């Protein structure tokens, strides 16, 4: 059984939750004028503001007791020692080893190979089969072999090198590959086939179609100069026809959704240059150091985990909007969906028992200010209670006059409005002052008391981005410990893949439709007619 359930701190949190059902954030700020300084934390030049969450220092202290009860420090030590903490797959969890200052020999060798390859492509020493330089790189991968480098390439748009465009293709829907290839010339295009297992259906289909496109425009022999691979399965890479000399290895102890720091980051390193990629590793390393050495009350990943646990298990808030007020971080919500929901979207604990408490909430979001004109209506006045996570960046990465202040003003306005709300009497007074109809007051009322976190970064550069991603990785780690679940397997995505494998021959007309439920049979029939 999860050891934290029997701890006094868990019981205390239950009592605190009852207290907070009757307490509003307005009241909490009125009772404690120092609430902002009490509930905000600084790390380097970051600011994490938890004062608009429905909690207080006592609650964080009880969560700190859960951290000890769950033996988070012990789990950190086991992870760092390379123990098989991913027990259902019999694997160690060592993505942190990819960004050490002095990485182990196998990691250092791959990083050196990436550096040399990037230098060759950038300098035009690596050329296509016809002797043309590479102008376009297409990463073919999905899930962890796509989302990390794709998100980071967009996040670091301000650092992209000129003369090299990097594209990402993930979906097995041919529209993804076809629309990407439409603007490319084969002689100038390099494909990276990125797959930990090198068996993923979507990636293999896209890789085969890309190879056919290239070979029909040039010839089969040209494939060698236009395809490289990133994988743990180097035998399968060779079987696909990619020269092992052009393969970049990683290892089974790197989970797919934690693999950005490995050669899975190759398209990013090509986009921004290897030196910038190394700066991102350094940022992640700085966050590792903070996580490993800081007590829970000052430890940023721990604090984010505490907020999620509190909102989910004690306040019953099961949806969280990630709202980056940074266009460049626009793909962060999608990246976090995999990182958090694939890691923690589980109901069986480390002892094989069903959890008696809720685990991962739904993660979603859009960058601000765009989201304000789409779903914020619901956040402010809907019946559903969501936790919001605002991520703002002080210094613009694309400094156009007049933009950044408006962006930040909107960000801070939204969290203030969510927290403060507007009572019906306030709405009435405003309407009266404006000479408008009093009957509109209920529509112009905002319940408020809607919790949010704001994380304020100084700037968005490779170092800060590396630290930001590592922050979320470690938050997932802490929640895995607190919820007593293995955050590193993903059996939940296997079942659907298995059924798709059985349906495929039926759809292709190679097998009779059978052994499926009537609805699925009906859908298959409709496609075959």
Enzyme catalytic residues: 342, 373, 497
Instruction: Give 141 or 368: the residue with its C-beta nearer to ligand F6P.
Output: 141
Between the CA atoms of 327, 329, 330 and 336, what dihedral angle is there, to the nearest 10 degrees? Answer: -160
SS3 331: coil
CA 440, CA 247: separation in Å to the nearest integer?
Answer: 65
Residue 252 C-beta: closest distance to ligand F6P, Å: 11
Beta strands at 247-249 and 227-231: parallel, antiparallel or unpaired: parallel
Q: Which stretches of the chain bind ligand F6P, using CB under 6 A?
A: 142-145, 195-197, 200, 203, 256-257, 342, 490, 493
Residue 281 C-beta: closest distance to ligand F6P, Å: 20
Instruction: Give 15 or 87: the residue with its C-beta nearer to ligand F6P.
Output: 87
Instruction: Give 136 or 342: the residue with its C-beta nearer to ligand F6P.
Output: 342
Residue that has been written with the tokens 């004690």 in this structure: 314
Instruction: Give 49 or 342: the residue with its C-beta nearer to ligand F6P.
Output: 342
SS3 166: strand
Please give the helix or strand (H or E) that residue 60 lies within, else none: helix 57-69
Contact of 196 with 232, CB cutoff 8 Å: yes
Please give the helix or strand (H or E) that residue 230 lies within, else none: strand 227-231
**Bridge partners, 390 (sequence order):** 323, 454
Long-range contacts, stretch 516-520, CB < 8 angstroms, 24+ apart = none
CB proximity list for 30: less than 8 A, separation 6 or greater: none
Instruction: Give 342 or 397: the residue with its C-beta nearer to ligand F6P.
Output: 342
Residue 350 C-beta: closest distance to ligand F6P, Å: 19
Residue 490 C-beta: closest distance to ligand F6P, Å: 5
Contact of 350 with 3, CB cutoff 8 Å: no
| Residue 3 DSSP symbol | G
CA 371, CA 378: separation in Å to the nearest integer?
Answer: 11
76 vs 178, 291, 293, 400, CA distance in Å?
Answer: 44, 9, 10, 43
CB proximity list for 16: less than 8 A, separation 6 or greater: 55, 58, 59, 62, 314
CA 434, CA 387: separation in Å to the nearest integer?
Answer: 33
CA 164, CA 276: separation in Å to the nearest integer?
Answer: 15
**Sign of the torsion angle spanned by Cα atoms 338, 343, 348, 354:** negative
CB proximity list for 52: less than 8 A, separation 6 or greater: 25, 415, 418, 419, 451, 452, 453, 454
Phi, psi of 319 (to 5 degrees): -145, 140
Nearest-CB residue for ligand F6P: 256
Contact of 331 with 278, CB cutoff 8 Å: no
Please give the helix or strand (H or E) that residue 137 lies within, else none: strand 136-140
Give the sheet arrangement for strand 387-393, strand by strand.
Answer: 40-43, 46-49, 452-457, 387-393, 319-325, 362-364
């Amino acid at each position: 059984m999860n050891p934290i359930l029997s701890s006094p701190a868990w019981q205390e949190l239950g009592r605190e939750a009852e207290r907070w059902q009757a307490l509003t954030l307005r009241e909490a700020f009125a009772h404690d004028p120092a609430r902002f300084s009490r509930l905000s934390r600084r790390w380097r030049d970051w600011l994490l503001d938890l004062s608009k969450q429905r909690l207080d220092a006592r609650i964080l202290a009880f969560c700190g007791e859960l951290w000890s009860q769950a033996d988070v420090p012990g789990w950190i030590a086991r992870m760092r020692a390379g123990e098989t903490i991913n027990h259902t797959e019999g694997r160690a969890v060592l993505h942190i080893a990819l960004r050490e200052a002095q990485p182990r020999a196998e990691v250092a060798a791959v990083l050196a190979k990436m550096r040399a390859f990037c230098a060759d492509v950038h300098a035009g020493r690596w050329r296509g089969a016809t002797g043309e330089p590479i102008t376009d790189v297409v990463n073919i991968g999905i899930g962890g072999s796509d989302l990390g480098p794709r998100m980071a390439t967009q996040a670091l748009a301000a650092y992209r090198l000129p003369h090299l465009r990097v594209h990402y293709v993930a979906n097995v829907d041919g529209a993804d590959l076809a629309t990407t290839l439409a603007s490319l010339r084969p002689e100038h295009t390099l494909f990276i086939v990125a797959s930990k297992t090198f068996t993923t259906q979507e990636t293999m289909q896209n890789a085969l179609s890309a190879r056919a496109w290239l070979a029909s425009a040039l010839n089969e022999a040209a494939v060698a100069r236009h395809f490289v691979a990133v994988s743990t399965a180097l035998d399968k890479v060779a079987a696909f026809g990619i020269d092992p000399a052009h393969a970049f290895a990683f290892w089974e102890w790197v989970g797919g959704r934690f693999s950005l720091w490995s050669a899975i980051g190759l398209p990013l390193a090509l986009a921004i240059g290897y030196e910038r990629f190394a700066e991102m590793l350094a940022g992640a390393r700085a966050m590792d150091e903070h996580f490993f050495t800081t007590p829970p009350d000052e430890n940023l990943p721990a604090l984010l985990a505490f907020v999620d646990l509190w909102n989910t298990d004690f306040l019953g808030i099961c949806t969280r909007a990630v709202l980056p007020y940074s266009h460049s971080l626009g793909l962060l919500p999608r990246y976090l969906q995999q990182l958090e929901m694939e890691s923690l979207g589980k109901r069986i604990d480390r002892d094989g028992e069903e959890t008696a408490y809720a685990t991962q909430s739904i993660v979603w979001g859009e960058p601000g200010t765009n989201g304000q004109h789409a779903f914020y209506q619901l956040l402010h006045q809907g019946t559903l209670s969501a936790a919001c996570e605002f991520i703002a960046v002080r210094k613009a990465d694309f400094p156009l006059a007049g933009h950044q202040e408006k962006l930040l003003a909107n960000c801070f306005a939204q969290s203030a409005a969510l927290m403060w709300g507007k009572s019906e009497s306030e709405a009435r007074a405003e309407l009266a002052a404006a000479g408008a109809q009093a009957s509109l007051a209920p529509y112009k009322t905002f319940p408020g008391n809607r919790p949010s976190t704001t994380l304020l970064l100084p700037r968005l550069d490779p170092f800060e981005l590396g630290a930001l991603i590592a922050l979320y990785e470690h938050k997932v780690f802490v929640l895995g410990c607190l919820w007593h679940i293995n955050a590193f397997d993903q059996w939940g995505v296997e079942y659907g893949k298995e059924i798709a494998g059985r349906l495929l021959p039926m759809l292709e007309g190679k097998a009779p439709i059978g052994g499926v439920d009537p609805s699925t049979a009906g859908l298959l029939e409709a496609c075959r007619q």
